């Protein structure tokens, strides 16, 4: 037993250090999903189910599910899992009514590498500010694995980090000053605040560990 004591001590120290790091990383974050039900969420609540601690878009119903509180500048962290050909979206600074891709900001959630999306425009790839800023491709995990994403919205600057890789880092006002990439009007692009939501398009996508931290001004 004496020989194993140093190893035990080191193991305990490592575990405590890991817990401290996790606490430091999550300090200041508020959970938006309790893992049990859709308390606090509004909109298409009947289009999403809660399964194994995750919000799951029902492909037969779907729709736009929004968190009931509005946010302005923030750091948002969440995990998501795709099925083949999955298509969804992350709304930020969006009103509840209308099309979030234009009346707010939509960050694409998409199985970009699926064959059915081989002809999409660059601004439609996963993580893109839809219609405005294209994202770098090639950083989604294989279908069925959980991806980790962070979104920082700070004034006009939007930064998207997928599985540790920055795929978007852009000033959306600057990016749209001469018109948007899709040629459409985006009247909500520069909204100062709005709702966060998931924009279901008839495919199964799962979300978990959804948490947010305001950026103080």
Domains and CATH numbers, the chain: 30-214 (2.60.120.560)
Cα–Cα distance, 53 to 35 (Å, whole number): 4
Q: Over the stretch 29-42, which tens digit does the pLDDT of each residue have? A: 999 999 999 999 99
Which tens digit of pLDDT belongs to each residue from 124-168?
Answer: 999 999 999 999 999 999 999 999 999 999 999 999 999 999 999
DSSP 69-117: S-BSSEEEEEEEEE-TT-EEEEEEEE-SSS-HHHHSEEEEEE-TTSGGG
How much of the chain, in percent, has pLDDT values that exceed 70? 88
Asked if residue 3 has pLDDT above 60, the reply is: no
Residues 51-61: pLDDT tens digits?
Answer: 999 999 999 89
Residue 216: the pLDDT is: 84
Burial 153-192 (b: 16+ CB within 10 A, else e): beeeebebbbeeeebbebebeebbeeebbeeeebebbebe
In sequence order, which ranges of 111-193 are alpha helices (DSSP H)? 172-175
Residue 16 pLDDT class (50, 70, 90 cuts): very low
- pTM, whole model, 2 decimals? 0.87
């Amino acid at each position: 037993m004496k020989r194993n004591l140093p190893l035990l001590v080191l193991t305990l120290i490592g575990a405590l250090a890991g817990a401290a790091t996790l606490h430091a990383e999550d300090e200041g974050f508020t959970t938006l999903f309790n893992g049990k039900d859709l308390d606090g969420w509004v909109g298409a609540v009947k289009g999403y189910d809660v399964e194994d601690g995750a919000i799951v878009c029902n492909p037969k119903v779907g729709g736009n599910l929004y968190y009931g509180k509005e946010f302005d500048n923030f750091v948002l962290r969440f995990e998501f899992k795709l099925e083949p050909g999955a298509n969804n979206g992350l709304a930020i600074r969006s009103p509840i009514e209308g099309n979030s891709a234009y009346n707010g900001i939509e960050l694409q959630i998409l199985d970009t590498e699926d064959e059915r999306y081989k002809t999409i425009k660059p601004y439609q790839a996963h993580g893109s500010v839809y219609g405005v800023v294209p994202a770098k491709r090639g950083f989604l995990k294989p279908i069925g694995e959980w991806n980790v994403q962070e979104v920082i919205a700070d004034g006009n600057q939007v930064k998207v980090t997928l599985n540790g890789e920055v795929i978007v880092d852009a000033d959306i006002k600057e990016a749209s000053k001469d018109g948007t990439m899709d040629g459409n009007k985006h009247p909500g692009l520069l909204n100062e605040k709005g709702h966060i939501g998931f924009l279901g398009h008839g495919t199964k996508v799962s979300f978990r560990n959804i948490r947010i931290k305001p950026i103080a001004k």
